[in-house]
Structure 1
Amino acid sequence: MLRVLQLIAVGFVLAACGADGEPIQPTMNATVGVGSSGTHVGGGIGLRRGGLGIYVGR
């Protein structure tokens, strides 16, 4: 289910970049954490325009 949401978000970002009007610059982040239980990796992608923001990630 998470993969499906990520694919939808990527499609939304690509569609938003080619829409009429000024393109929206997507934002991305990546994290790597190290703790006593091991390491974990996370990341996400988002769009922000005015007061509206959409972010999909972990």
Structure 2
Amino acid sequence: MIRLGLGLIALSVLVACGVDGPPVRPTAGVNVGVGTRGVNVGVGGGVRVGGVNLGVGLGL
């Protein structure tokens, strides 16, 4: 009976992995460029959900 209970608990934990969808990965980046107008700096951040990227960038 204990083996059956442990088996059901292990199965439920295994099934629960990824139930809420694909993992969400945060992304961030900084760009620095030098041109005829001087030094340009850009900062960006976002999230990646499955194959979709959602991001926001700011140029300083």
TM-score, length-normalised on structure 1? 0.52
CA RMSD of aligned residues (A): 2.1
How far apart are 1:43 and its partner, in Å?
A: 1.2
4+ runs of 1 displaced by more than 6 Å?
none
In the alignment of these two chains, the number of paired residues is 39
**Counterpart contact for 2:23–2:49, Cα < 8 Å:** no
Alignment of 1:5-20 (within 5 A): none
Show the counterpart of 1:40. Answer: 40
Higher relative contact order (CA 8 A, sep 6+): 1
Q: Aligned equivalents of 2:22 and 2:49: distance in 1?
A: 11
**1-side partners of 2:47 and 2:26: how far apart?**
5
How far 1:40 sits from its partner (Å)? 1.1
Percent identity over the alignment? Answer: 49
Does 2:3 correspond to 1:31? no
Unaligned runs of 5+ residues in structure 1 are 1-19
Whose Rg is larger?
Answer: 2
Does the 8 Å CA contact 2:27/2:45 hold for their aligned counterparts?
Answer: yes
The structure with the greater share of residues assigned to strand is: 2
One-letter amino acid of the structure 2 residue matched with residue 53 of structure 1: N
